[in-house]
Structure 1
Amino acid sequence: MDLKKYHRLTAAIIFIVTLIIYLMTVAPTLSFWDCGEFIACSVTLSVPHPPGSPLYLLLGKMAGMFPFGDIGWRVNLISVLVSALIVMLLYLTVVRLIRLYRGPEESTEDALIVYGGSSIGALAFAFTHSHWFNAVEAEVYGISLFFTAMVFYMIVRWNDEADDPKSDRLLLTIPYFIGLSIGVHLLNVLAIPAIALVIYFRKNEFKWSTFLIMVGLTGLAMMVVYPGVVKWLPATFKVNVAIPVITFLVLLYSSYHFLKAKKRIFSLVLVSMLLIVLGYSTYGVIFIRSNLDPPLDENNPDTIERFLSYLNREQYGDVGILPRRWNNDPNYSSEADFFWNYQVNHMYNRYFLWQFVGQEGDFQGAQVDFSKFFALPLLLGLFGLGHHIIRDRKRSLVVFSLFFLTGYAIILYLNQDNPQPRERDYAYTGSFYAFAIWIGIGAQGLLAYASRYLKIKKASQLALLLAALFILIPVNMLAKSYRMHDRSGNYVAWDYSRNILETCEPNGLIFTNGDNDTFPLWYLQEVMAVRQDVRVVNLSLLNTGWYIKQLRNREPKVPISFSDDYIDRYLDQHDLTALRKRYWPKNLPEQPTIVSVPTPDGGSFEWDVPATMHLPTGPGDTGENNFLRVQDIMILHIISENNWKKPLYFAVTVSNSNMLGLQDHLTMEGLAFKFVPEKGNKINPEKLAENLLDNYRDYYRNLDDPNVHYDDNVFRLLQNYRSAYLQLASYYLKLDRPGGDATYDPVRSPDENYEDFYAFSDRDKVLFILDTMEGELPSTVVPISSEEIVLHIGQLYSDLGRPEELEARLQRLSSQKDLTPDELFRYGATYLRWMNDTTTAEKMFRRVLEEDDSPEMKLEVVTAFNQLRMADEAVSLLDEVAESKMDTQVKTRVATLYLHLNQFDTARQYFEELAETNPGDGSVIGGLLSVYEQQKDHPKFKELLESWVASHPNDQQAQQRLLRFNEMYQDSIQ
């Protein structure tokens, strides 16, 4: 086999291996965040959030047409395919970059060094966190990086073939791909400087004068693309529709003219501009589809003005590079400190190290974990950077430009604020891709040095070294990262959203909070036709005029009576006139904040609506909230206009701050709270039981499967199920009514038990609820977020006659690693109080003393030892505390504990000392009185109590105590 076939075979194997792994780990349906929106908009050819991704929508539409599998899974396959292609392109690119300084391969040993090293770089990138994350869900970042990888590969290939007249085809394909990529994401524009550097170094010897000219022309080229083609060209439609048409025709004619005149440079430039515009033309899909009123039509860009606003992302505002968005965050000392420690270190460096050192876990704020990859990919990449600079300084600058512009430059440009709703590492995969090039070059350099200096010449010896590198880097990365990136069997987004919709009564209206309780619902309704009678109202979008109009006009309609003019003037503007409509100050007689709502029975209820945002109003401004948001006004308006015609709900994910003080009129029925006229009904037990125990049961898929991986975001959402179960259990436990003829039998199936549910005693109901919760959401698979809840569940079981459940939970908690002394003490106290297990409790209390010998902790253990009837040890430990330096509070506790341990003389000594310095301290005087009482020192008791009553004449309890004492002991003390 010739070496070219080895090369092609290696590329094919890399593609197939990564494709198989991504297929094994791809999500079986939609995932959270933007995935539901993108799939729904693709399948229905609707309009997603600005600035849209029209090319992605077209590809998603095609993928959705395949007649197999879940529709969400089909669209996910786009990311799977392009992500595997990216890894293959990385391999092909690294091989060409190595050849530029090393020359072509001439032997099997050369092939092992070049192809093997390049494979390590490619596969290391394949198993980086962010790329793998993007590869297994329906998002735009995978295909965006594909375009970046493709144009970078094509320019590197052009570098090899530049002397061939046919190489111009590669140069012309690049701008077309850039134009197409804008229809996915703007990130691809950041590859232009790297492309320009390759062309410059291929055609010119380095001179500062020509280099600076190239830099200027590159900046101009980027401006032509963005904002030129992206913003300015569409803006000409606003002036005159003929302008962009004429511009296109002029470009077309000029290209033809210069081609015919054989003016190569001019024709290349003009045809490139033409191809960028042609690729960018996919944005016509957004305008066309919006005018056809698709099911989802975000921002409604059906006019030139709204279309331009959509392209320019105006709804998100414009944040400049300076000043940095510090906002006087107390965690940072200055703007520079915020920029470096948050925006650079936390929002990029941490992500970068995740990829090549290791990630602590898939939870918000996860730190770097050296134990995952031992920093070997990072070290090899840094070695590759140095090796590349030494061997080919020009191309190392090319790779560095791609690395910097797709990483640190984005950080500078975005100027992100703190906090962010989610991790943002997915946006920097271009930078991680560039660094992986150096990993491949580093692996090649290491193999080459081993061959040269360690005299490893034989192919078999090189193969062994290469195998070791594979095991240490890509294989280790695969093994350590597989579970965290495996989404097979994860149906939570589908099931959770379905259960939200099924909570609602027919023709209901539900207010949702953000992406994760809105986009999956859109997917179910528009793609899967699930509960299309329910109207989803997203509170974030409810601040926009276009969304309010769509809710009012489209079926199922939301009761809104505001006219277009009113919406445009007062709800969609932010000038003084509009803001006055939202002014909501507290304690202003002429503008009360009390709102009254009529009830179906002819009555009404009212409540005080709190302001939800603050705007400064001038001198005397207190800084308190004084305005309502548009979404707040709309909630009040919808409640009023609805007048109980449609059932209204709030998803359980809606925060209290978005409920406008309505909590007393919201009753839990499952994954949503229903708005009701009655006050104080926290749950609807019948509806809640029906949903949790019956309606949801087929849609808890795989929540009991320990082989399915869930991330921190999913765990947080799943706690809402557990919270509902526990509230239902608490409700029946408080009632504690006897049952009918049936009793709960754990051996029977859940369906059989549910049929007899209302014939159970309330205690049996609670057991059935708890067992169902543990069966559907076992804490071994879906961890409980709070140890207090773990113990609470165990205590419920113990109260109901199953103490082994509490013991099992206690054992799990107490066997955890790195428990704090406070946790050890708490678990020991639980063993003592609830299990009466004195042996285990004593062991845990002794462990506490080994890890924390502070006076405060010793006093806690003294109390515990006293409960264990270990009086001698308690006194001994208390003596140790007494010998240390004590403040008044500690000394009071010491005296009190001596009293409880029947060490009356010692207690008396300390209390008398304390009484001298703190004669007005009721706890000290009370303790001293107890000592006198125990020692039967009646004269002292009476003297102290009379003194206290004299100085505290309003202390009725002390007066009564003195009266009782006088009645009992008057004769004995005379």
Structure 2
Amino acid sequence: MSSMFTALVFWLMLKWEEDADDPRAFRWIILIAFLVGLSIGVHLLNILTIPALVMIYYYRRYDVTKKGVFYALLISLILLATMFYILIPGMVWLAGHFELFFINDIGLPFNSGTIIFFALLIGLIVLGLNYSRKKGKVVLNTIVLSFTFLMIGYSTFFILIIRSNANTPINENSPRDAISLLAYLNREQYGETPLFTGQYFNAPLNQSKDWRDASPIYEKDVEKGKYVVTDARENSRPTYNKKYTTFFPRMWSSQENHHIAAYLEWGGISEKSVYKSVPTTSQGDKIYTQAEPKNPPTFGENLRFFLTYQVGHMYFRYFFWNFVGRQNDIQGHGSPTDGNWYCGIPVIDRMHLGNQEMVPDHMKSNKGNNSFYFLPLILGIVGLFFHLNKHSKDTLIVTLLFLMTGLAIVIYLNQYPYQPRERDYAYAGSFYAFAIWIGLGVMALAQLLKKLFKEGIIAPVAATLIALLLVPAIMASEGWDDHNRGDRYTARDFAKNYLASCAPNAILFTNGDNDTFPLWYVQEVEGYRTDVRVVNLSLFNTDWYADQMKRKAYDSDPVPISMNHKEYRQGVRDIVYLLQDKDLGYVNIKDLFDILHNNPAKLQQKVREYTLDFFPSRNFYIPVDTNKVVENGTIPASWKADATDSLNWTINRNIIQKNTLFCLDILAHFNWDRPIYFAITTGDDAYMGLEDYFSLEGLVYRLVPVKTINPDGATGRVNTEVMYDNMMNKFVWGNLTGKGVYLDETNLRMCMNFRNNFARLAMALLDEGQQADGSFVPEKKQKAVAVLDRCMEVLPESAVPYNYFVLPVAEAYYRAGEMEKGNTIMSRLVDLYDSDLAYYFSLDKRRSEQVNFDKRQALYILQRIMVLSQQLKQDELYKKVEPVFGKYYSLYAGVPYQSPQQTAPETAKDSQ
């Protein structure tokens, strides 16, 4: 839709250009203003067309001079900045301040200030229209009308306020009034990214007293009849040592260690030049050090990162994907194997990716592998020069559109390394601006052919046919398979699998977009399992989301949060310190919340001018009624003997955020009346140290009062009866094995979780069925084999390529005595990793180092197969894998490989 608005306003401006001499031509500009206003509610990309639109107006209305072009460009940038930094946030900012003034200072009812503001705005518009009409000021009248229609389009944001006040189950940010709407528009929850000036990644922080103030947070207090400050946010915006700040900061993020590592790599920075090692503690002869800032990066290194990573990797790589070709659909971070541009011409691809003849077939067959042979790019460049030659003014207009929706966005976004996903969609406007030149390239080709064929329609027809065959046909044939989402229902069905894994009236904690939004869809749209309350832990850091969780939603009951709004609103208990009192053991978490409600000062400590909230322990417990948890199905009756009457656990952190505080509140008060689950994709940080009390039941871990410590590092135990029913009978698979169905990296990653769970369920069934003599109870063994067969049926190699996660499946087959099935998988893995390693070791030194992790993983898997085949006396498999492992081990280690069979006699002799 954003692309549609962008194309539409550009086309409408060309319509104005055609009719510019008509007295009614300004109606096109007024329509453009309305569409720009509408588009703000979709995406801000549309306003980046303003410079191109201004230049169309200038070229049509004025005599062209260099000075005029300069001023037109300057005015266009001022208009753009005004829209972006003043008009869009400014209207809501003014409405909010009117609201504060008339309610807090004058004492009027809530929303009076907003009504007065818009009444004044409408009055001023009416005055402006009357004045301009009476005085015959056409331009002024058009400006006022355009502003009016811009505001009418922009007013669609009122839908958010209306919807928010209706308390819908999904109500992100809860923009209920002008004040909260401003925070929503400013995207305050995402933090700040420096643009014109800012810090380097290694910049030391100034003392907090020297930090800047942020805008205070206001909240409606119905009892007082005014807006109250819940968080003054004084000294809340960090400032940095001036030596480590710069103009145009590109390397600014220090939030993750791998960000810093990427800055060093892409910026060509020596770590020793920016950090120094400082001794901290010593233990015996060993001295421990930590890295501290030494010098800031140079501005040249800053620009090198900008050009190589932000411009090269995060823009031109995407540009080349569209007009040159793409290596595969795996997210790339600079490795020669993932996500690079690729043209299909071996001599060129070899120069930047290494020897492509050695690339394994399974990598080449990735549906994201598209070869365009530079043809779209060449045709576009031809069209650009043709355009420049024929209509230089129009070329500048298209160039502005191309640059403003491409490189200008690169500069504005100022992206840090290791983005969560590829960002090619951000530059779609730039790509279809270039497509205009591709179209003009066809005209250039037609004119060239016209010189060869003097008369008739042969030239244009030939040009069209050649262009269609050389460019669109190749692009369609190469790109269709990885752009076609037809017959793929994995997002919907996998979401159903999450919910199907849960018992009735459950609370399910999720964390990211991919394990939350699809669940919301199937509940909201398809009405599936609306009894399960999905709780997103990322949003749980906000007071508005907690308010929503305390309300009933469809068939799910409110989440048992005991804190009232004033006890958790923004600015209150955003952070709670965990201070371990040496005299305290495990603390009943409910007792802490009782103190928080009745005597909160006991859990607060004054440090200078700040009041800090704390809990006096990191060790907590929840009482358990073992009879109750068996009766309500929390645990099977067979687990009762292992159940504990007190669930004890430790949170190994010094600080917890509000989302963890809410989780602790729920744990303190749910009283084992409702099932509590964590999605397996939430990650260890979300588990709060409760992993030993997890029961795997599908795509979720259920909290159970049974402690399980696995020597192999697996999380919790497996409820085989429930999980078997879920995975074998309830789960649906989104037609992932359908003919031509495209599974991208995100879908495949999810499929790996399924493979892992199938293998774990099979192993758990075998554990339960294993008898003292080593044999298995037939029923358990049959179930385990059925689980593994089901895994191979719904997740075949043809749909989900083999990798590390299929290894446990083969191992489970071996344990169940299905040697042939296990060998089939293992033999295939040997072939795959043989070809992978051959490719990795064919790369030059620099590229080979970039795939070191892949080499180590491949060698580990081959070694694991070799050891298993030797232990299980699978001689044919051993004979196949051992020489493969030996060859590549020698290349990796730089020493000759010695077969275990060669060294076995000496080892045996030594052991005697």
TM-score (norm 2): 0.71
Structure 1 residues 871-930: Cα deviation after superposition (integer angstroms, max 9, x where no partner): xxxxxxxxxxxxxxxxxxxxxxxxxx4xx578xxxxxxxxxxxxxxxxxxxxxxx99x85
8 Å CA contact 1:596–1:607 kept in 2: the answer is yes
> 2:886, 2:552 → 1: CA distance?
67
Bigger relative contact order (CA 8 A; separation at least 6): 1
The answer for the alignment partner of 1:563 in structure 2 is: 564
- Change in CA separation of 1:587 and 1:415 when aligned onto 2, cut-off 3 Å: farther
- Change in CA separation of 1:682 and 1:851 when aligned onto 2, cut-off 3 Å: closer
Higher-strand-fraction structure: 2
Do structure 1's residue 154 and structure 2's residue 12 form an aligned pair? yes
- Deviation of 1:398 after TM superposition, in Å, equals 0.8
Structure 1 residues 453-485: Cα deviation after superposition (integer angstroms, max 9, x where no partner): x44654235423432221221111111111111
Equivalent residue for 2:806, pick from 783, 786, 790: 790
Do structure 1's residue 627 and structure 2's residue 658 form an aligned pair? no
Q: Which amino acid aligns with 2:781?
A: R
Equivalent residue for 2:308, pick from 337, 341, 364: 341
- Deviation of 1:248 after TM superposition, in Å, equals 2.4
Q: Which amino acid aligns with 1:147?
A: F
- Deviation of 1:835 after TM superposition, in Å, equals 8.7
Q: Which amino acid aligns with 1:512?
A: T
Query: What SS is found at the alignment partner of 1:628?
Result: strand
- Deviation of 1:838 after TM superposition, in Å, equals 6.1
> 1:249, 1:381 → 2: CA distance?
50
The answer for the alignment partner of 2:321 in structure 1 is: 354
8 Å CA contact 1:233–1:244 kept in 2: the answer is no
The answer for the alignment partner of 1:833 in structure 2 is: 870
TM alignment of 1:323-342, pairs within 5 A: 323=198, 324-327=250-253, 329-331=260-262, 332=264, 333=269, 334=297, 335-342=302-309
Q: Which amino acid aligns with 2:754?
A: Y
Q: Which amino acid aligns with 1:405?
A: M
Q: Which amino acid aligns with 1:160?
A: E
> 1:852, 1:606 → 2: CA distance?
46
TM alignment of 1:501-520, pairs within 5 A: 501-520=499-518
Q: Which amino acid aligns with 1:523?
A: Y
Query: Which shows bigger deviation, 729-738 or 556-565?
Result: 729-738
The answer for the alignment partner of 1:722 in structure 2 is: 755
> 1:832, 1:664 → 2: CA distance?
33
- Deviation of 1:219 after TM superposition, in Å, equals 3.4
- Deviation of 1:227 after TM superposition, in Å, equals 3.5
Query: What SS is found at the alignment partner of 1:597?
Result: strand
- Change in CA separation of 1:467 and 1:528 when aligned onto 2, cut-off 3 Å: same
Query: What SS is found at the alignment partner of 2:563?
Result: coil
> 1:792, 1:297 → 2: CA distance?
42
Higher-helix-fraction structure: 1
8 Å CA contact 2:45–2:405 kept in 1: the answer is yes
Query: What SS is found at the alignment partner of 1:819?
Result: helix
The answer for the alignment partner of 1:713 in structure 2 is: 746
The answer for the alignment partner of 2:55 in structure 1 is: 197
> 2:89, 2:417 → 1: CA distance?
29
- Deviation of 1:675 after TM superposition, in Å, equals 0.5
- Change in CA separation of 1:307 and 1:843 when aligned onto 2, cut-off 3 Å: closer
8 Å CA contact 1:252–1:274 kept in 2: the answer is no
8 Å CA contact 2:758–2:809 kept in 1: the answer is no
The answer for the alignment partner of 2:377 in structure 1 is: 378
Q: Which amino acid aligns with 1:720?
A: N
> 2:812, 2:501 → 1: CA distance?
27
8 Å CA contact 1:791–1:806 kept in 2: the answer is no
8 Å CA contact 2:37–2:149 kept in 1: the answer is yes
Equivalent residue for 2:789, pick from 765, 771, 792: 771
Do structure 1's residue 272 and structure 2's residue 272 form an aligned pair? no
> 1:211, 1:704 → 2: CA distance?
58
The alignment of Structure 1 onto Structure 2 pairs a total of residues equal to 690
- Deviation of 1:294 after TM superposition, in Å, equals 2.0
> 1:598, 1:837 → 2: CA distance?
51
Equivalent residue for 2:191, pick from 305, 317, 322: 317
Q: Which amino acid aligns with 1:565?
A: K
- Change in CA separation of 1:858 and 1:417 when aligned onto 2, cut-off 3 Å: closer
8 Å CA contact 1:360–1:368 kept in 2: the answer is yes
Do structure 1's residue 182 and structure 2's residue 40 form an aligned pair? yes
The answer for the alignment partner of 2:235 in structure 1 is: none
- Change in CA separation of 1:461 and 1:275 when aligned onto 2, cut-off 3 Å: closer
Do structure 1's residue 584 and structure 2's residue 578 form an aligned pair? yes
Q: Which amino acid aligns with 2:342?
A: D
The answer for the alignment partner of 2:622 in structure 1 is: 597
- Change in CA separation of 1:780 and 1:340 when aligned onto 2, cut-off 3 Å: same
Equivalent residue for 2:899, pick from 863, 873, 876: 863
TM alignment of 1:514-913, pairs within 5 A: 514-555=512-553, 556-568=557-569, 572-573=570-571, 578=573, 582-584=576-578, 591-601=616-626, 603-611=645-653, 626-680=654-708, 681-696=716-731, 699-737=732-770, 760-786=778-804, 789-816=805-832, 818-820=835-837, 826=863, 829=866, 833=870, 854=891, 859-860=896-897, 862-863=898-899, 866=901, 897=903
Query: What SS is found at the alignment partner of 2:25?
Result: helix
TM alignment of 1:204-603, pairs within 5 A: 204-238=62-96, 239=98, 240-241=113-114, 242-321=116-195, 322-323=197-198, 324-327=250-253, 329-331=260-262, 332=264, 333=269, 334=297, 335-365=302-332, 366-371=339-344, 372-452=371-451, 454-455=452-453, 457-460=455-458, 462-555=460-553, 556-568=557-569, 572-573=570-571, 578=573, 582-584=576-578, 591-601=616-626, 603=645
Query: What SS is found at the alignment partner of 2:535?
Result: strand
8 Å CA contact 1:810–1:827 kept in 2: the answer is no
Structure 1 residues 21-56: Cα deviation after superposition (integer angstroms, max 9, x where no partner): xxxxxxxxxxxxxxxxxxxxxxxxxxxxxxxxxxxx
> 1:721, 1:852 → 2: CA distance?
31
Query: What SS is found at the alignment partner of 1:549?
Result: helix
- Change in CA separation of 1:476 and 1:640 when aligned onto 2, cut-off 3 Å: same
8 Å CA contact 1:594–1:608 kept in 2: the answer is yes
What value does the CA root-mean-square deviation take over the aligned residues?
3.0
TM-score (norm 1): 0.66
Structure 1 residues 375-430: Cα deviation after superposition (integer angstroms, max 9, x where no partner): 11112212222222222221111111111111111121122223222111112111
- Deviation of 1:343 after TM superposition, in Å, equals 2.1
State which structure, 1 or 2, has the greater radius of gyration over its C-alpha atoms: 1
- Change in CA separation of 1:785 and 1:263 when aligned onto 2, cut-off 3 Å: same
Q: Which ranges of structure 2 fall in alignment gaps of 5 or more residues?
A: 99-112, 199-249, 255-259, 270-296, 333-338, 345-370, 585-615, 627-643, 709-715, 839-854
- Deviation of 1:849 after TM superposition, in Å, equals 7.6
Q: Which amino acid aligns with 1:805?
A: K
> 1:248, 1:386 → 2: CA distance?
49
8 Å CA contact 1:348–1:408 kept in 2: the answer is yes
- Change in CA separation of 1:327 and 1:320 when aligned onto 2, cut-off 3 Å: closer
- Deviation of 1:220 after TM superposition, in Å, equals 3.7
> 1:190, 1:479 → 2: CA distance?
32
> 1:420, 1:586 → 2: CA distance?
36
The answer for the alignment partner of 2:236 in structure 1 is: none
The answer for the alignment partner of 1:52 in structure 2 is: none
- Deviation of 1:358 after TM superposition, in Å, equals 1.4
Structure 1 residues 330-351: Cα deviation after superposition (integer angstroms, max 9, x where no partner): 2322433433333222221211
Q: Which amino acid aligns with 1:567?
A: Y
> 2:881, 2:178 → 1: CA distance?
72
Q: Which amino acid aligns with 1:594?
A: N
Query: Which shows bigger deviation, 454-463 or 263-272?
Result: 454-463
Q: Which amino acid aligns with 2:651?
A: V
> 1:320, 1:832 → 2: CA distance?
56
8 Å CA contact 2:870–2:878 kept in 1: the answer is no
- Change in CA separation of 1:243 and 1:212 when aligned onto 2, cut-off 3 Å: farther
- Change in CA separation of 1:462 and 1:272 when aligned onto 2, cut-off 3 Å: closer
8 Å CA contact 2:770–2:777 kept in 1: the answer is no
